[in-house]
Structure 1
Amino acid sequence: MFNQEPKNYNCPFCRMIKSGLQTEKDFVFENKTVFVCIALHQHENSGPGLLVIPKQHVENIYDIEDSLLAEISKVTKFIAIKMRELFDIQGITIWQHNEKAGFQDVWHFHTHIKGRLSDDNIYQTKQYEMCEAERSKLAEQLKEYIQNS
Protein backbone atom coordinates (compact mmCIF):
# COMPACT_ATOMS: atom_id res chain seq x y z
CA MET A 1 0.00 0.00 0.00
CA PHE A 2 1.36 3.45 -0.93
CA ASN A 3 4.68 1.96 -2.03
CA GLN A 4 7.38 3.94 -3.81
CA GLU A 5 10.34 1.57 -3.55
CA PRO A 6 12.08 1.43 -6.96
CA LYS A 7 12.12 -1.84 -8.89
CA ASN A 8 15.17 -3.99 -8.13
CA TYR A 9 15.95 -1.84 -5.08
CA ASN A 10 19.22 -2.89 -3.40
CA CYS A 11 18.33 -2.16 0.21
CA PRO A 12 21.32 -1.01 2.31
CA PHE A 13 19.77 -2.30 5.55
CA CYS A 14 19.11 -5.74 4.05
CA ARG A 15 22.73 -5.78 2.84
CA MET A 16 23.87 -5.08 6.41
CA ILE A 17 21.76 -7.96 7.72
CA LYS A 18 23.05 -10.37 5.05
CA SER A 19 26.68 -9.43 5.72
CA GLY A 20 26.28 -10.19 9.43
CA LEU A 21 25.44 -7.41 11.85
CA GLN A 22 28.30 -8.22 14.19
CA THR A 23 30.73 -7.26 11.39
CA GLU A 24 29.24 -3.75 11.17
CA LYS A 25 31.41 -1.26 13.06
CA ASP A 26 28.45 0.99 13.92
CA PHE A 27 26.29 -1.87 15.26
CA VAL A 28 24.90 -1.29 18.78
CA PHE A 29 22.17 -3.80 19.64
CA GLU A 30 19.99 -6.56 18.19
CA ASN A 31 17.29 -9.02 19.11
CA LYS A 32 15.29 -11.50 16.99
CA THR A 33 13.41 -8.83 15.05
CA VAL A 34 15.34 -5.53 15.06
CA PHE A 35 18.82 -4.06 15.19
CA VAL A 36 20.20 -0.68 16.18
CA CYS A 37 23.13 1.18 14.63
CA ILE A 38 24.68 4.64 14.70
CA ALA A 39 23.21 6.86 11.99
CA LEU A 40 25.60 7.81 9.21
CA HIS A 41 24.27 11.37 9.11
CA GLN A 42 24.44 13.43 12.27
CA HIS A 43 23.46 17.00 13.16
CA GLU A 44 26.02 19.52 14.31
CA ASN A 45 25.66 20.82 17.89
CA SER A 46 23.42 17.97 19.10
CA GLY A 47 23.68 14.54 20.65
CA PRO A 48 24.18 11.29 18.74
CA GLY A 49 21.65 9.85 16.30
CA LEU A 50 20.80 6.15 16.05
CA LEU A 51 18.53 4.02 13.87
CA VAL A 52 16.20 1.21 14.96
CA ILE A 53 15.69 -1.09 11.96
CA PRO A 54 13.54 -4.21 11.56
CA LYS A 55 15.35 -7.23 10.17
CA GLN A 56 12.32 -7.96 7.98
CA HIS A 57 12.20 -5.77 4.87
CA VAL A 58 9.13 -3.56 5.19
CA GLU A 59 8.97 -0.37 3.16
CA ASN A 60 6.91 1.97 5.34
CA ILE A 61 4.37 2.53 8.11
CA TYR A 62 1.50 1.44 5.86
CA ASP A 63 2.92 -2.07 5.38
CA ILE A 64 4.35 -2.89 8.79
CA GLU A 65 2.61 -5.43 11.02
CA ASP A 66 1.39 -4.08 14.34
CA SER A 67 3.44 -6.60 16.32
CA LEU A 68 6.65 -5.56 14.56
CA LEU A 69 5.83 -1.88 15.07
CA ALA A 70 5.29 -2.58 18.78
CA GLU A 71 8.69 -4.31 19.01
CA ILE A 72 10.38 -1.37 17.26
CA SER A 73 8.72 1.03 19.73
CA LYS A 74 9.83 -1.10 22.68
CA VAL A 75 13.46 -1.16 21.48
CA THR A 76 13.31 2.56 20.63
CA LYS A 77 12.28 3.33 24.22
CA PHE A 78 14.99 1.05 25.64
CA ILE A 79 17.74 2.67 23.51
CA ALA A 80 16.44 6.19 24.25
CA ILE A 81 16.69 5.52 27.98
CA LYS A 82 20.24 4.16 27.63
CA MET A 83 21.25 7.18 25.52
CA ARG A 84 19.78 9.57 28.10
CA GLU A 85 21.64 7.80 30.91
CA LEU A 86 24.99 7.58 29.13
CA PHE A 87 25.36 10.77 27.13
CA ASP A 88 25.33 14.39 28.22
CA ILE A 89 22.02 15.16 26.50
CA GLN A 90 18.92 16.95 27.73
CA GLY A 91 16.28 15.22 25.60
CA ILE A 92 15.40 12.79 22.83
CA THR A 93 13.64 13.29 19.50
CA ILE A 94 12.19 10.30 17.68
CA TRP A 95 11.11 10.45 14.04
CA GLN A 96 10.22 8.19 11.14
CA HIS A 97 9.76 9.09 7.43
CA ASN A 98 7.33 7.66 4.85
CA GLU A 99 7.24 8.22 1.08
CA LYS A 100 9.19 10.79 -0.93
CA ALA A 101 7.05 13.70 0.25
CA GLY A 102 7.67 12.54 3.84
CA PHE A 103 11.45 12.61 3.20
CA GLN A 104 11.90 8.84 3.16
CA ASP A 105 15.14 8.10 1.32
CA VAL A 106 15.80 4.49 2.34
CA TRP A 107 12.94 2.20 1.32
CA HIS A 108 13.13 0.08 4.46
CA PHE A 109 11.16 1.16 7.54
CA HIS A 110 13.36 2.58 10.30
CA THR A 111 13.06 4.89 13.28
CA HIS A 112 15.52 7.66 14.15
CA ILE A 113 16.47 8.34 17.78
CA LYS A 114 18.22 11.68 18.18
CA GLY A 115 19.94 12.89 21.33
CA ARG A 116 19.11 16.54 21.89
CA LEU A 117 20.81 19.41 23.65
CA SER A 118 19.05 22.50 24.95
CA ASP A 119 18.99 25.17 22.24
CA ASP A 120 20.71 22.90 19.68
CA ASN A 121 18.61 24.41 16.86
CA ILE A 122 18.66 21.02 15.16
CA TYR A 123 16.27 22.04 12.39
CA GLN A 124 18.49 24.96 11.43
CA THR A 125 21.83 23.13 11.54
CA LYS A 126 23.56 21.20 8.80
CA GLN A 127 23.96 17.47 8.80
CA TYR A 128 27.35 15.90 8.31
CA GLU A 129 28.50 12.38 7.55
CA MET A 130 30.10 10.87 10.63
CA CYS A 131 33.25 8.95 9.76
CA GLU A 132 33.44 5.22 10.39
CA ALA A 133 35.96 5.59 13.22
CA GLU A 134 33.68 7.99 15.13
CA ARG A 135 30.60 5.79 14.57
CA SER A 136 32.57 2.74 15.71
CA LYS A 137 33.78 4.48 18.88
CA LEU A 138 30.27 5.69 19.70
CA ALA A 139 28.78 2.25 19.02
CA GLU A 140 31.32 0.52 21.27
CA GLN A 141 30.65 2.98 24.07
CA LEU A 142 26.90 2.45 23.89
CA LYS A 143 27.18 -1.33 23.40
CA GLU A 144 29.40 -1.64 26.47
CA TYR A 145 27.04 0.50 28.54
CA ILE A 146 24.02 -1.61 27.50
CA GLN A 147 25.83 -4.87 28.34
CA ASN A 148 26.95 -3.60 31.75
CA SER A 149 23.69 -2.03 32.88
Structure 2
Amino acid sequence: MDDCIFCQIIAHKAPAEFVYEDDHVVAFMDIYPATRGHCLIVPRQHVRNLYDVAPDVAAAVMAVAVRLAPALRDVTRADGMNLWQSSESAAGQVVFHFHMHLLPRYAGDGLHVPGNRRRAAPAELNGLATDVRQRLMA
Protein backbone atom coordinates (compact mmCIF):
# COMPACT_ATOMS: atom_id res chain seq x y z
CA MET A 1 0.00 0.00 0.00
CA ASP A 2 1.63 3.19 -1.20
CA ASP A 3 0.18 5.41 1.54
CA CYS A 4 1.25 3.12 4.43
CA ILE A 5 4.50 4.29 6.03
CA PHE A 6 5.25 0.79 7.30
CA CYS A 7 4.84 -0.65 3.79
CA GLN A 8 7.23 2.05 2.56
CA ILE A 9 9.73 1.14 5.28
CA ILE A 10 9.41 -2.57 4.50
CA ALA A 11 10.10 -1.82 0.82
CA HIS A 12 13.11 0.33 1.83
CA LYS A 13 11.43 3.38 0.28
CA ALA A 14 11.37 5.21 3.63
CA PRO A 15 14.23 5.28 6.12
CA ALA A 16 14.37 3.10 9.21
CA GLU A 17 16.97 1.50 11.44
CA PHE A 18 16.26 -2.20 10.99
CA VAL A 19 17.20 -4.66 13.70
CA TYR A 20 15.68 -7.76 12.10
CA GLU A 21 14.37 -8.94 8.72
CA ASP A 22 13.16 -12.27 7.38
CA ASP A 23 10.71 -13.33 4.65
CA HIS A 24 7.65 -12.54 6.80
CA VAL A 25 8.58 -9.97 9.46
CA VAL A 26 10.74 -6.89 9.97
CA ALA A 27 11.68 -5.06 13.15
CA PHE A 28 12.99 -1.53 13.35
CA MET A 29 13.58 1.24 15.85
CA ASP A 30 10.59 3.49 16.60
CA ILE A 31 11.35 7.11 15.59
CA TYR A 32 9.11 8.31 18.46
CA PRO A 33 10.35 6.01 21.22
CA ALA A 34 8.43 5.82 24.48
CA THR A 35 11.62 4.46 26.06
CA ARG A 36 15.23 3.98 24.96
CA GLY A 37 15.35 1.00 22.59
CA HIS A 38 11.65 1.01 21.63
CA CYS A 39 11.26 -1.26 18.56
CA LEU A 40 8.39 -2.07 16.24
CA ILE A 41 7.79 -5.58 14.93
CA VAL A 42 5.81 -5.58 11.68
CA PRO A 43 4.64 -8.27 9.25
CA ARG A 44 5.65 -7.68 5.65
CA GLN A 45 2.05 -8.41 4.63
CA HIS A 46 -0.15 -5.34 4.96
CA VAL A 47 -2.99 -6.06 7.35
CA ARG A 48 -4.81 -3.35 9.29
CA ASN A 49 -4.80 -4.68 12.87
CA LEU A 50 -5.38 -7.55 15.27
CA TYR A 51 -8.94 -8.03 14.02
CA ASP A 52 -7.71 -8.73 10.50
CA VAL A 53 -4.37 -10.52 10.99
CA ALA A 54 -4.16 -14.23 10.25
CA PRO A 55 -3.04 -16.38 13.18
CA ASP A 56 0.12 -17.55 11.36
CA VAL A 57 1.14 -13.94 10.61
CA ALA A 58 0.54 -12.93 14.22
CA ALA A 59 2.55 -15.96 15.35
CA ALA A 60 5.47 -14.94 13.13
CA VAL A 61 5.43 -11.44 14.67
CA MET A 62 5.33 -12.91 18.18
CA ALA A 63 8.19 -15.30 17.40
CA VAL A 64 10.35 -12.33 16.42
CA ALA A 65 9.36 -10.53 19.64
CA VAL A 66 10.48 -13.54 21.67
CA ARG A 67 13.79 -13.68 19.79
CA LEU A 68 14.42 -9.94 19.87
CA ALA A 69 13.50 -9.23 23.52
CA PRO A 70 16.59 -10.80 25.15
CA ALA A 71 18.96 -9.08 22.71
CA LEU A 72 17.25 -5.74 23.25
CA ARG A 73 17.32 -6.23 27.03
CA ASP A 74 21.03 -7.03 26.96
CA VAL A 75 21.95 -4.09 24.72
CA THR A 76 19.85 -1.52 26.60
CA ARG A 77 20.37 -3.01 30.08
CA ALA A 78 16.61 -2.70 30.56
CA ASP A 79 15.06 -3.68 33.88
CA GLY A 80 11.97 -5.12 32.16
CA MET A 81 10.09 -5.28 28.87
CA ASN A 82 6.57 -4.52 27.64
CA LEU A 83 5.03 -6.04 24.54
CA TRP A 84 2.23 -3.79 23.32
CA GLN A 85 -0.24 -3.92 20.45
CA SER A 86 -2.96 -1.36 19.71
CA SER A 87 -5.89 -1.88 17.34
CA GLU A 88 -7.91 1.11 16.12
CA SER A 89 -7.72 4.76 17.12
CA ALA A 90 -9.52 4.33 20.45
CA ALA A 91 -6.68 2.00 21.53
CA GLY A 92 -3.97 4.37 20.31
CA GLN A 93 -3.22 2.85 16.90
CA VAL A 94 -1.69 5.55 14.71
CA VAL A 95 -0.28 3.54 11.79
CA PHE A 96 -2.93 1.19 10.45
CA HIS A 97 -0.62 -1.70 9.63
CA PHE A 98 -0.60 -4.44 12.30
CA HIS A 99 2.47 -4.14 14.52
CA MET A 100 3.73 -4.81 18.02
CA HIS A 101 5.78 -2.50 20.18
CA LEU A 102 8.68 -3.93 22.14
CA LEU A 103 9.39 -1.45 24.94
CA PRO A 104 12.44 -1.82 27.16
CA ARG A 105 11.55 -0.63 30.65
CA TYR A 106 13.74 1.07 33.21
CA ALA A 107 13.15 1.56 36.92
CA GLY A 108 11.62 5.01 37.34
CA ASP A 109 11.11 5.65 33.61
CA GLY A 110 7.70 7.21 34.30
CA LEU A 111 5.83 5.25 31.63
CA HIS A 112 2.56 3.83 32.98
CA VAL A 113 1.07 0.95 31.00
CA PRO A 114 -1.76 0.19 31.50
CA GLY A 115 -3.32 3.30 32.95
CA ASN A 116 -6.36 3.48 35.22
CA ARG A 117 -7.51 0.11 36.51
CA ARG A 118 -10.37 -0.94 38.76
CA ARG A 119 -11.36 -4.24 40.31
CA ALA A 120 -14.24 -5.82 38.37
CA ALA A 121 -17.26 -7.36 40.05
CA PRO A 122 -17.37 -11.17 39.76
CA ALA A 123 -20.79 -11.00 38.06
CA GLU A 124 -19.39 -8.63 35.41
CA LEU A 125 -16.46 -10.97 34.71
CA ASN A 126 -18.76 -13.99 34.54
CA GLY A 127 -21.14 -12.26 32.13
CA LEU A 128 -18.36 -11.12 29.82
CA ALA A 129 -16.63 -14.51 29.88
CA THR A 130 -19.92 -16.27 29.08
CA ASP A 131 -20.63 -13.94 26.15
CA VAL A 132 -17.11 -14.34 24.74
CA ARG A 133 -17.24 -18.14 24.97
CA GLN A 134 -20.59 -18.12 23.15
CA ARG A 135 -19.22 -15.82 20.45
CA LEU A 136 -16.20 -18.10 19.92
CA MET A 137 -18.52 -21.08 19.42
CA ALA A 138 -20.81 -19.23 16.96
Compute the displacement of 1:18 (Å). Answer: 2.4
Compute the displacement of 1:25 (Å). Answer: 4.5
Question: Could you report, residue by residue, the CA deviation over 1:82-125 in whole angstroms, capped at 9, with x for unpaired residues?
Answer: 1112222100011011011111110100000011101211139x
2:128 alignment partner in structure 1 = none
Matched, 1:16 2:9: yes
Instruction: Tell me which amino acid in the other structure corresponds to 1:14.
Output: C
Aligned length: 113
Matched, 1:39 2:39: no
Question: Could you report, residue by residue, the CA deviation over 1:19-52 in whole angstroms, capped at 9, with x for unpaired residues?
Answer: 36xx845111101100000001123xx4310000
Asked if 1 retains the 8 angstrom alpha-carbon contact of 2:2 and 2:8, the reply is: no
Distance 1:86 1:15 in 2: 27
What value does the CA root-mean-square deviation take over the aligned residues? 2.0
State the TM-score, normalized to the length of structure 1: 0.69
Distance 2:16 2:96 in 1: 22
9 and 97 in structure 1: CA distance in 2 versus 1, 3 angstrom threshold? farther
Q: Percent identity?
A: 29
Asked if 1 retains the 8 angstrom alpha-carbon contact of 2:48 and 2:98, the reply is: yes
Instruction: Tell me which amino acid in the other structure corresponds to 1:26.
Output: E
Report 1 or 2 for greater relative contact order, CA contacts < 8 Å, sequence distance ≥ 6: 1
State the TM-score, normalized to the length of structure 2: 0.75
Instruction: Tell me which amino acid in the other structure corresponds to 1:78.
Output: R
Query: What is the aligned counterpart of 1:104 among 80, 93, 114?
Result: 93
Q: Which runs of 5 or more structure 2 residues have no equivalent in the other structure?
A: 114-138
| Secondary structure, aligned partner of 1:120 | coil
